Each structure stands twice: as structure tokens, then as C-alpha cells.
Structure 1
């Protein structure tokens, strides 16, 4: 993690320097706050738009030297004129707010006038005369420099002439400018009248996150970022029509073990719009349960990541926004060759699939696995993981095109649940055998089918209720076969479980997303949508015509930083055709060849499965 001193564009002294943008200033001051024992609170702002002040909208005096005592001794004269356009001051939390102090003084004087007890009078006189406000503060000064008007030889006449010439050019709009934000930070010796860590039993006022341990005051520092961000908001109704993209002011609090991600892409997920399982009980929420982007800031204990790292993360909510806060243990590194848009398809679908297969199920090599909704994001991930682990994947889907895609990913067979002979065809295909494991996100409508085809001591895992929460069917087959029925919803898992899942997935599965590997995994992406068209994405999701994931692009990525072949860098995001008829043409043209080649590679004699640890007590270390 970079120190706050290294974030200065130019450091003039140990605690003084400048940056160019308000974003750089916020990063530097937040990093400084994490290194000090005191909190600083905003006291004064001269204008609403600090860091982006329009110096042309309001006339400012043209200056040549700093006349402010705070900076005068530290800034040498360089001959370049400038304007002081704005200033922000943050006082130490132990410095009393001046307006509050004034009100208390007035009340004290009134009490002094009416007080008859001499000892009490002395106390009020002492209160009025006592000055115990900490003088330490953080000062940010915004100036605009004009390098084209620099004086080579300084003189009073030269300054006057250049000033007149400058304002003439300013009216014409032909002035080159450079914005700087000078930041003066206090040293510990500047603080007065309040304790630090070596002083005991002092709790600062208006401080909620303070713990008193062993008679010492320890402040639990948090990273606070105030910004206005774009975000996709959904109402509690769960209706697509209520989704909107807004700019909202937000204060982001990142705890010491959390990071802030500058989000480039997220994905559309059903749980964002299903009324019964909305994450929050309040009226609105920022949707998005996964995000891919670049680390923007880190807490003081978030040592796993540093600013600028390309990462992806599973979230409970908040992914469809410019920035999001997440625990460092829920974050995975994005492979260097993978774009952030592609990486956004991984966290929710693949972690869910990995959790179902490796934590909920007990699949053995050669087991027959039935995957309902096989062309969904989780379904396509399950097909690949089951095949890679040595299972026989059978899928159900709503069209022949979707089934073709699933076969190209490794499924041995697929059946269209909209067919009249769907159940009969599936039973005939099994030829007397029974299914050992069922992954079911559908629920009620498949209840009787699942009950009939599942085998003795089989496992049936329900992780969604697409057909509704109610069932009607005969449960006697389940009792006769000793079937185990489990339910699983990743968003209801504990933070510790998600952290463990993330670590295991990173070690055991993520390496197999490398291109040109013998066993290659791949996220299936149907379409890419800009954030402004997020309603269209969720409408398409509701139509049940999707295959794989729908990606929400929030920002454009610099493709030169992605380690992909140069032939692909000039191409825009390529989407899978959006209609089932197009998908059928694509699937029928490629599924047979892909299926044969991939299945042969995966089932060659002597080829070990990277997920053999699922069905064996002996752990296989992957490379």
C-alpha cells in the first residue's frame, strides 16, 4: 500500500506539497487520516465545487506571491502568476466547532450574571477564558497557475503590465491554465490539549467507533470517501420498470480490512429483481451482486491488495455503481489476459456453482448429474465443472439452441422441457439408470420428474424457485429412495464461508481459465449493455431467452493493459446472438465438433481431473 507522502505530485516539504485533481487530494488525505490517531472534520469550504472551481465565472485577484502565512514560508517565488480560487479546512476532531463554542460562551455569560455562588462564578469565568481547542488542521488550497505569463525579470511595472495583458486575454478565452491543490498536513507536535495512544481514559466527543481497552483509548479508524456516483437503483417491488440509473451522493465507509473498487463492469442477476429475496428491507437498493474493476483505496489492514490491482468480487449488493466497498477476503485477482467485462461474469455464477458442487454435493467420479436451467449463468458453469470433475452432465433447457451450447461445454445430453415428451425422452435416455445428483433452480414444476428419476441415496439441491415457491406431488418415492434434499442460497452464507469459498476457487479453479490449456474453462456471455440500458438487460433476463450472463459495462477499459492477443484488442465486445433461432444455428454448426474434441481430451486415459478432490479423500494439488 502506497504511503501518503508518495501521493504528492510534488512534495515541497515532509508535510506539504500539491496534487492536480480533487480525486488525488481525497486519496492523499484519506491515506494520511489512516496514519494518524486523530480524526479531522470539515470546518470551512469557500465554494461548493472545491477542486473544480470555475475561475472564469467569478473574478479573482491575480497574485504573484503567496500572502497566506500558512504557505508563505514554504513556497518560493517562481515568477508565475496565479489565482487563489478556493480553500478547504479540516479541523482536528478535538478542536471545538467555533459556532458551538460561541453559543456556549453566551450561555455561560448569562449564567454568570444570575449566579450568586462565588465558587460557581469562578467556574464559569474559568470556562469562558479557557482555550483548549486543538489548533491542528488540514488545509487544502486550490489555485490556478498561468505558465504563459511568467515574468523572467520581476518588477512592479512588469507585474502591472502582465496583469493587464492577462485579463485582456482572459476575456478572449485564450488562457492556458494549470490547476493545483496545495495540501498542508499537521505533524503530531501540532496537536494540543488532547491525548494520544499513551494517555488514558479519554473518549473524544461525537465518536461512536471508540473502544476503551486496558484503560487506553483505541480509535477504530475507517476509510471514508464522499462522492457522487452513478448507480442502478431498484425498488422493493422487484419490477424491472422501477430500475433507474441515478447520480447519488454517497459516503462510503471502508473498514480497516475492506477495499474500495472502482467498478468497470457488473452483471444482471435475477436476485436483483425478485421481490421475495431482495437483500434489503428498505425502499431502494443499489443492485448488482458482483463487480470487476480496479482497486481505488484500501483500509489500513487490507494488505492483500494495493491500489491499481485488477480485481473481481462477489457482493451482497451495490455492484452496478461507480464504486463499491467489499471485504478483502471476498476479492479475486482478474487473470491478466481477461478483460474486466469478461471477469464480471465469474463471481456470482461460478462461486455459486463451485459452492453447490464442492460444498453442498458429494459427487463421485462417473455420477450422473442432472442440471436444470443448464444454459443459465450458473448452469453453464456447473456443466463445465461437473464434466471437469469426471461427472456425466445432463441438462434441461428451453430450446434446442440452448441445449447445443450446453453440449459444446461438455454436457453429454440435453432435453427441451417445453417438449411434450420431455419426461419420457429423459427417462428413455437413462435406460433404466437413475440420476445421482440434481441441481435445481426451478422448483415446483419439476418436482414430480425429479422424484421419479433420482436414484437410491441421491442428492437433490434446490438453489432457486423460478417456477414459484409451491409444490404439489407425491413424496413417497423420495422416502423409499432415502433421497437427501438440500437448499442453498449463496447470498445467505456467512462472510467467513464466502471468504473460504473465494480462496478455494482462486486456487482450484481460476487457473483453468487460461487460454490454450488442455482443460479450459470459460464464462458464457450473451450480451453486453451500457449502464444506461440496464432496463433492457433485465427485460431480456426476464424473457428467459438468455444464455449465460448479461454484462453491464459501467466504464470503458484501457485494452492496452490487458494481456490479450493484439488481433483482439481492436475488437469491441463480441456477444452471443440474442435470439434462440440464431443460437440454434450457432449451436448446430459447432456443438458436435467441440463436444467430441473436448470430451476426448478430458477423458483420455491417464488424464487426472483437476477436481478429483470432490470425489476422493486424497487431495490432488493443482498447478
Structure 2
């Protein structure tokens, strides 16, 4: 049984669907069944969602949702609580929230485990809040909870101008780390510096290993947050400091590469390849644990303005195809948000 504050609860809704795997043109705004919150879940009226690179892969047929998750694209959203599933406490119908999703964000409504909800941070509007859950949980779980970044450490962020990158710069800075970033133009690097990057490296013209080691007196990077995968693996090991931790969160540069253990062992280095979408809700390192830590330790930094959302543009959800084209073209700084309501 659910507790609902909506007169139209249970009717069909609209969502962006894919008629077949392919380019942005396969995205369509169509009528689909209304989701129903199960035990421990909350139904949201979606105000906005945000575009992530994983969405492009799912559209192409390369990144299916985990078992039981919505087939609708979208890994995060903001909105208003419309109904509570059985056993849900701590939330009320009408609460404004944002949420980490396993799918379903590009829609008018979505059902989500209550443990994956976050209150909209003070000082952030409801639409902008849609840009936060995925980057916040990705960066915090990997850079802080897993790799243990702290004051005085050196953090290297690849793709510093992207959604994850712009957030990671600010988190690193807030924690007292020296932050190095790679990006593909002087303009993008200048904007990364405005967010708090100390070392700005044009990957088209400079060797990030030489630049980071040179700027840190040969120390290197204590934590590397990498979205490239195979292409950067060898050089990421080279740039690691003693006891350093390389965290791979993407494969834009390929899936397979050779790992030289002869270089990694003397450094006592660690390499982790970590995904967020497929994690269970509960249990050690589950989404509930991550979201709780984000709320307790990162949300105060956002509410104080120390870490702020970086939104490139807000588009209506019916223009999801245009948003996918823009992200694929590489001209986006920060996040693209899709307004649903």
C-alpha cells in the first residue's frame, strides 16, 4: 500500500524512450506506464534530470540497466515526493529532493529507493539540484571513501571540464588537496582554475606525467581519478606517488591495456575500477551507505557554497537528443540539465 498526495497517481506518464539502439534521433517522448513505488521506495514527480555519458552508451545499446531497473534512461533527477511505499519513514509527500537512480530519470515520474534520496541543498534551486546526485556520489565514493584523499594530498583529475571533473576539482580543493586537471583547451583549463585547480594541463600539448611530477617536486599524484581507462593506464601508473591510488571510472580510451606490475609494486600503488550504477542499495559500499555519507559530509560543503553545481545549459526534456549531441561533440563544461516540469 502506498501513501499518495496526487489525484492523478496511477495514470500513464510520458518519458523519453529509445525505439531502437542508435543515434540521438532514436530518442522519443512517448506515453509509458506510471511507475509504482514498492516497499522502501518513493515515487517522485520529476522536475529535472541530467545527462551523463553513460546515457549515451545506453542509447546506443552498450550499457543496459541493472536487473529490475527502469529501461528509461537517466541516472539522477530532482523532484517532489508524490507517494511513499510501504515502510518508508523520514520523508513526506511534497518534500523537494534529488535522487541517485539506476535508471528512469528522463520521465515525468520515477520510483526510487528512499535510501537514495537527498534533500535539495539549501541555496540550490530544484532544477539545478538534478545535476548533483550522480557526480556527488561518484566523486565522493571514489576520491574520499575509497582512495582516502586528504589535506596535503595531490589529486589528478582527468576530464576536468566535465560534470565529474568540475565537481572533483571543488571537492579536492575543499579538502585541502592540490588539484591537477587535464583538459583539451586553454579556455577550459582557465575555467578549471577558476574552480580551484592548481595545475592545469592541456592533454593535447603536454605530458601530464611530466607536468604533475614537475609541479610537485617529483612527488606525483596521491589519487588519480580517471575516465579514460586503457589509453591512460600506463601513464597513470607512472604519475602515481608512493602509496598512491588510481581509480578508473570510465573507458573512453578503451577497455584493455597492459599493467606493468614492476612499476606498481615498488610504489605500493593501488588500481581500482569502480562503477556506481550496478551497486546494490544496501550492504557495505552500497548506494545507501554512499548517499548517507554524501549527505553528512559533502552536502554541508554545497550548502555553504564551497562546492557548487556547474551547469552548462538547461534544456527541455523533449530536446534530449540535442543534449546527447552536445555532450558527444565535446563542447560542454559541467552538466547538461533536462527540465521535465
TM-score in terms of structure 1 length? 0.51
Query: Are the equivalent residues in 2 in contact too, given 1:235–1:285 (CA < 8 A)?
Result: no
Q: Describe the superposition over 1:40-84 as per-residue Cα deviations: whole angstroms up to 9, x where unpaired.
A: xxxxxxxxxxxxxxxxxxxxxxxxxxxxxxxxxxxxxxxxxxxxx
Matching residue of 1:558: none
> Alpha-carbon deviation of 1:405?
1.6
Query: Are the equivalent residues in 1 in contact too, given 2:49–2:78 (CA < 8 A)?
Result: yes
Q: Structure 1 pair 324/384, CA: closer, same or farther in 2 (3 Å)? A: same
Matching residue of 2:262: 476
> Alpha-carbon deviation of 1:233?
1.4
1:243 aligned to 2:32? no
Matching residue of 2:337: 551
Matching residue of 1:254: 37
Q: Structure 1 pair 473/544, CA: closer, same or farther in 2 (3 Å)? A: farther
> Alpha-carbon deviation of 1:426?
4.0
Query: Are the equivalent residues in 1 in contact too, given 2:100–2:117 (CA < 8 A)?
Result: yes
Query: Are the equivalent residues in 2 in contact too, given 1:436–1:454 (CA < 8 A)?
Result: yes
Say which of 47, 54, 66 aligns to 1:271: 54
Tell me the C-alpha RMSD between the 2 structures: 2.3
Task: Output the CA distance in 2 between the equivalents of 1:306 and 1:239.
Answer: 39
> Alpha-carbon deviation of 1:439?
0.8
> Alpha-carbon deviation of 1:475?
4.6
Q: Describe the superposition over 1:12-57 as per-residue Cα deviations: whole angstroms up to 9, x where unpaired.
A: xxxxxxxxxxx52x55xxxxxxxxxxxxxxxxxxxxxxxxxxxxxx
Query: Are the equivalent residues in 2 in contact too, given 1:236–1:281 (CA < 8 A)?
Result: no
Counterpart mapping for 1:427-442 below 5 A = 427-442=213-228
Counterpart mapping for 1:274-289 below 5 A = 274=57, 275-279=61-65, 285-289=71-75
Q: Which SS does the other structure have where 2:320 is aligned?
A: helix
> Alpha-carbon deviation of 1:415?
0.3
1:379 aligned to 2:168? no
1:343 aligned to 2:129? yes
Task: Output the CA distance in 1 between the equivalents of 2:179 and 2:160.
Answer: 9
Q: Describe the superposition over 1:504-524 as per-residue Cα deviations: whole angstroms up to 9, x where unpaired.
A: 21121212223xx4x621011
Q: Structure 1 pair 554/487, CA: closer, same or farther in 2 (3 Å)? A: same
> Alpha-carbon deviation of 1:373?
0.8
Q: Structure 1 pair 414/381, CA: closer, same or farther in 2 (3 Å)? A: same
Q: Structure 1 pair 388/235, CA: closer, same or farther in 2 (3 Å)? A: farther
Counterpart mapping for 1:207-606 below 5 A = 225=10, 227-234=11-18, 237=21, 239-248=23-32, 250-274=33-57, 275-279=61-65, 285-419=71-205, 423-472=209-258, 474-496=260-282, 497-514=286-303, 517=304, 520-555=306-341
Q: Describe the superposition over 1:63-116 as per-residue Cα deviations: whole angstroms up to 9, x where unpaired.
A: xxxxxxxxxxxxxxxxxxxxxxxxxxxxxxxxxxxxxxxxxxxxxxxxxxxxxx
Query: Are the equivalent residues in 2 in contact too, given 1:271–1:278 (CA < 8 A)?
Result: no
Task: Output the CA distance in 1 between the equivalents of 2:49 and 2:204.
Answer: 31
Task: Output the CA distance in 2 between the equivalents of 1:473 and 1:298.
Answer: 48
Query: Are the equivalent residues in 2 in contact too, given 1:236–1:278 (CA < 8 A)?
Result: no
Q: Which runs of 5+ in 1 are unaligned?
A: 8-22, 28-224, 556-623
Query: Are the equivalent residues in 2 in contact too, given 1:455–1:481 (CA < 8 A)?
Result: yes
Task: Output the CA distance in 2 between the equivalents of 1:535 and 1:306.
Answer: 34
Q: Structure 1 pair 454/285, CA: closer, same or farther in 2 (3 Å)? A: same
Q: Structure 1 pair 399/481, CA: closer, same or farther in 2 (3 Å)? A: same
The number of residues matched between the two structures is 333
Q: Which runs of 5+ in 2 are unaligned?
A: none
Task: Output the CA distance in 2 between the equivalents of 1:411 and 1:290.
Answer: 26
Task: Output the CA distance in 2 between the equivalents of 1:414 and 1:320.
Answer: 34
Task: Output the CA distance in 1 between the equivalents of 2:25 and 2:157.
Answer: 31
Q: Structure 1 pair 385/420, CA: closer, same or farther in 2 (3 Å)? A: closer
Larger radius of gyration: 1
Query: Are the equivalent residues in 1 in contact too, given 2:13–2:34 (CA < 8 A)?
Result: no
Counterpart mapping for 1:47-62 below 5 A = none
TM-score in terms of structure 2 length? 0.90
415-424 vs 382-391, greater mean Cα deviation:
415-424
Q: Which SS does the other structure have where 1:297 is aligned?
A: strand
Task: Output the CA distance in 2 between the equivalents of 1:425 and 1:303.
Answer: 50
Q: Describe the superposition over 1:136-159 as per-residue Cα deviations: whole angstroms up to 9, x where unpaired.
A: xxxxxxxxxxxxxxxxxxxxxxxx
